[in-house]
Structure 1
């Protein structure tokens, strides 16, 4: 079976195309997810490994700045090219990347919490509403029927993972309704993630391999289990053996997909930012699990993953800034 002829959920560079904000991809919000997750990981490393506090806080501030910059660009796209945004939202693959906006908002609420609880609570509430709305829309689309099985790509997991992120970032919310909402989000996210994960794996096994440009999205397969570990530990108030099982399967999936993703043959594009948040979730999970077990090899593993994530996002930041400045990001 041939790869479906659908527009890719990220821009394909072509020198003949005119640079325009119309081509700004929504999946670029994945950069905010990765940077926010990295900031939270360094914040954890400060408490457990004695890492400098300034590192995590500086990355968090940078994540906020990147979010505002991309949000301004995408709002400009919405104002000038509403049909392009409409087409992107209704795309069978790219539409799922609107979940990166909701996840970014949820993660930024956690980044902001030490500085202003009121602001963090407000940001989190906006993220919760956006996440549930997107999940409702995505599931409703799937239940209409006649969905092409070849469209079951890793990006389908984003809305489900977004729902799990409500419980990840809402563990310390003081509102009386927050605990029940976290349970609701955990239930929705867990079932969605498992069902969609099975559909995606079936597509990857029985259909043609992903197009080379979509290879980085394989890293999303790590997210349901790494984020699931973080959400579950927040909901139950600790780490038990089931949580440990989630963590170790996330680690296994990372080992499997990393060998497929990190190849020289996969050329750079904004789609590479899809690796950021799944890896950041795994790093945060590794740091929490190492602290729980107080085990030397686990601390080494967590530190190594943190270093790998920091290096990867530094490279992605530099390369994205380069294509933004030379105009290729908008072609």
Structure 2
């Protein structure tokens, strides 16, 4: 969560403290984990060494553990701050990055331990559904400021879509129905919120520059929906292709707007990584189905772009961590 995104939260003295650890930094786990899954696909399609995926998987797990422990410490030491973030109409949605990170980590560790993957996935699935319930319940209380309808509203619904994305192969007898329930909730919520957010972006004032990176989240429901649908049904068809192509269209539209902006690096830039990772994974799966060289070339190019984006974001994050800006108020 960036400072601009929580401008109306109570202000604090300018200090460097774990109190200022941004919850949206869990998007880094999402982006890196998404890269792991894409590299695994690429090892089959392009002959890429499996070591690239597995070494990146270790990084994803390490980052997840460090962030989780750090945020637990923050919650224990500054519960009021965490409570304020969670109840905030905009910032509260970023807690969805935690649930999605848990779900994706379950897929990252699956080749090492099926049991661990099932346990982690179950925790992530229940947490994602609980968060979706809380967020929707808040909105149905009424009198919500229309200007709060921002792309970050999509994160909890994308979280429920990620349940079948990561759990399509789960062997538990009850997993099939939970995946179907989650996909139903995620798809309808994503459609409703996408419509509300698009209307707000068209009819209301422009969003603040520090929040521009979150615009990429607007694209996320479509490639994630593609992955949820194909992993649940275990096949790719033309409906899946429609989801993929519209996600690709939005990616192009938003990229032109976003990458010509002059927004300095902030943790919120990680918001571009996980929608892009979802698009790359969808492109790789669709390329296998389409069997045409332009789509295969596109999937490979997107994978290279994602890899570069993750490296750049990681380097810049380590830089602001080293100079104390990451944890400064």
**Fold conserved (TM > 0.5)?**
yes
Q: Residues 84-233 of structure 1 correspond to what in structure 2 (within 5 A)? A: 84-233=81-230
CA distance in 2, matches of 1:93, 1:167: 26
Q: Give the match's secondary structure for 1:329.
A: coil
Equivalent residue for 2:268, pick from 263, 266, 271: 271
Partner of 1:3: none
Partner of 1:20: 17
CA distance in 2, matches of 1:262, 1:72: 33
Partner of 1:293: 290
Q: Give the match's secondary structure for 1:328.
A: coil
Kept after mapping to 1: 8 A contact 2:96/2:156? yes
Aligned length: 323
Kept after mapping to 2: 8 A contact 1:219/1:278? yes
CA drift of 1:208 comes to 0.8
Note the alpha carbon deviations across 1:204-224, whole angstroms, 9 max, x for none.
Answer: 000111110000000001110
CA drift of 1:64 comes to 0.5
CA distance in 2, matches of 1:84, 1:212: 24
TM superposition outliers: structure 1 runs of 4+ over 6 Å: none
Partner of 2:44: 47
Evaluate the alpha carbon distance shift between residue 103 and residue 9 of structure 1 in structure 2; reply closer, same or farther with a 3 A threshold.
farther
Note the alpha carbon deviations across 1:215-250, whole angstroms, 9 max, x for none.
Answer: 000000111000000001112221111110000000
CA drift of 1:162 comes to 0.2
Evaluate the alpha carbon distance shift between residue 7 and residue 315 of structure 1 in structure 2; reply closer, same or farther with a 3 A threshold.
closer
Kept after mapping to 2: 8 A contact 1:9/1:27? no
CA RMSD of aligned residues (A): 1.5
1:32 correspondence with 2:10: no
Q: Give the match's secondary structure for 2:48.
A: coil
Kept after mapping to 2: 8 A contact 1:110/1:120? yes
CA distance in 2, matches of 1:176, 1:72: 32
CA drift of 1:73 comes to 1.2
With normalisation by structure 1, the TM-score equals: 0.95
Kept after mapping to 1: 8 A contact 2:4/2:211? no
Q: Which runs of 5+ in 2 are unaligned?
A: none
CA drift of 1:20 comes to 0.8
CA drift of 1:8 comes to 1.5
CA distance in 1, matches of 2:36, 2:167: 17
Q: Which runs of 5+ in 1 are unaligned?
A: 1-5
CA distance in 1, matches of 2:284, 2:250: 18
Partner of 2:236: 239
CA drift of 1:7 comes to 5.6
Note the alpha carbon deviations across 1:137-157, whole angstroms, 9 max, x for none.
Answer: 000000000000000000000
CA distance in 1, matches of 2:178, 2:135: 20
CA drift of 1:264 comes to 5.0
CA drift of 1:263 comes to 2.7
Kept after mapping to 2: 8 A contact 1:9/1:25? no
CA distance in 2, matches of 1:174, 1:71: 27
Equivalent residue for 1:67, pick from 64, 68, 78: 64
With normalisation by structure 2, the TM-score equals: 0.96
Note the alpha carbon deviations across 1:97-121, whole angstroms, 9 max, x for none.
Answer: 0000000000000011111000000
Kept after mapping to 2: 8 A contact 1:153/1:203? yes
